[in-house]
Chains A and B, each alone.
Chain A
Amino acid sequence: MLNMQPSLLSVDSIALSFGGLLAVDRVSFAVESGQIFSIIGPNGAGKTTIFNCISGFYAPNTGNISFNGHAIEGRSSHKIAKYGLVRTFQNIRLFKEMTVLENLLVAQHNIANRNLISGIIKLPQYRKAESEALDKAEYWLYQLGLTAFANREANSLAYGQQRTLEIARCMVTEPTMLLLDEPAAGLNPKETEELDELIVQLRDMYGITVLLIEHDMKLVMNISDRILVLDQGRVIANDLPSEVQSDPAVISAYLGEEE
């Protein structure tokens, strides 16, 4: 017990209510480094609210969240992102009127050379830092197949490409862990398949731990190491995909809601 590796992310009994509505009710789970961990559940189950608590947009009423040794509950979101935990949004949030490339440069703000003087007179160290930022942006554009759109305004991209760009924008921040909120929403089956491959690739090649929200249980079965099922703010299952699939509580929650 003592020499057990602590989890990368551990959520301990968090609760949050909006007025009278208990959106998240004493939820606990732990994500190990290198896992693809999925949260599923019907509409309004509280998935996005949990994301908002983890990423600092909401402070939970009670409970603790720790990431990589830092207590992060109630911390401001930009600090949490600096610890290496970045997220995407259910309703895509790009810098719409900036170009694709600029989106990726902005995201590198914390790694950039922000010394005003060296930027204004273009000192060598500034040029070098900018050049590296461009290289990294170029790399991720290439990896995610967006190179051709580098100088297009972000909002001119197709929906699926915007989702991909949002992931690219997370990746240039060199995160430890990605939180993806329904990244497959609005994608066609082929795009969804590519996305699944991408997520696995991010984990296998770059060692990214992924916390994934998905609406559709079938989609996540193949790629998830572990699945947490939520219903009305409560955890009803936290298990391996194969176990979750046959869990009677899960089946009744899902069938009750969808049929």
Chain B
Amino acid sequence: MRESTFWPRLLAHPWILGIAGILIVLLLWTGVTATGLVDRLFLPSPAAVLAAGQAQASAGILGRDLVASVTRVFTGFALSAAVALPLGIAMGTNRAICQLLEPLMGLIRYMPAPAFIPLLIIYFGLEELPKVMLIFIGTVFFNTLMIMDAVKFVPHELVETALTLGGKRAQLLTRVITPCIAPQVLDTYRINMASAWNLVIVAELVAANEGLGKRISLAQRFLRTDEIFVGLIVIGVIGLLIDLGFRLLMRRACSWAN
């Protein structure tokens, strides 16, 4: 009888198994490194990674890298989000604009963003601008096309009801279409934010003075695998926090859609 209530109760708290999964990997990792079977150079112990992280944090390196990478991601992505929203809505509501831009965007979207790095460096040098532009280019087409799709799925009854209630064209955009697509827009941003993180690391591997990606490539040069692990884990945690942030915002702002 006991077993029959155990699983449902456990599954009712999704984070329990989630944390268990992480702990299992941590335990395996500790176990494998403790046996000494694997060369430390390839796989440092969790304690060594923690120590490396602490050393970087207390030297102020970690904080500076974090600020540098996060600033790039947020600037580039904010720009992308701000362009994609009106453009996606315009393409979703206007057939001419859609026919003009959709094939073009569909084409550019499949060009791998990192392949633009050489061009961006030639155009914008080695400072912040090329990195921000890479994140912008790498996410703006996905953001736009996904928002356009969300607009196309707005039930036409909702738009037409507003018209029969005396709504003006401009009101359709602000009072019907925008609130209706808000949940999908937030979800689009949440999903494409992951690409922004990929791209900032790629950009920093190529050219940067600081940033989490830069730290990883420096660590590689000096065979500091512990520092590579620090970088990877920090990037993962920040990504997860941003993801959770978007989910929380969605639950707060768009509770009607759950």
Partners in one complex: no
Q: Which residues of B contact A (CB under 8 A)?
A: none
